[in-house]
Amino acid sequence: MREVAELRRRYIDTPWPGGQSYRDVVGATAAFLEEVRWEWEGCSVLVIAHSANRWALQHLLDGVPLEELVDAPFGWRPGWEFVLG
């Protein structure tokens, strides 16, 4: 796990081998949020995803820089709540 944490910053703009960059995930998450806003306005929506999506939400909705998010230790908890503005 520690080895992966040390590599994360490399893949902010460069895709992981066979995968996406963190910035790619931000783009996909932004598109997802627009769909949620359009189809589920005023509703609560449960999203099950991995850490890259949580970082994308924190980046998009809270303005936290990706560099800060990928460098920080991952503090697991049972869930996070985000509100679309």
| 31 domain-assigned | yes
Indicate whether this model's pTM tops 0.75.
yes
Domain that holds residue 35: 2-71
| 25 domain-assigned | yes
**Overall domain count for the chain:** 1
- 22 close to 55: Cβ distance less than 8 angstroms: yes
pLDDT at 1 over 70: no
pLDDT tens figures, 33-77: 999 999 999 999 999 998 999 999 999 999 999 999 999 888 888
Residue of 59 and 3 predicted with greater confidence: 59
Among residues 6, 15, 21, 10, the alpha carbon closest in space to that of 55 is found at 21
- DSSP label at 2? H
Question: What pLDDT is stored for residue 27 in this prediction?
Answer: 98
| 85 domain-assigned | no
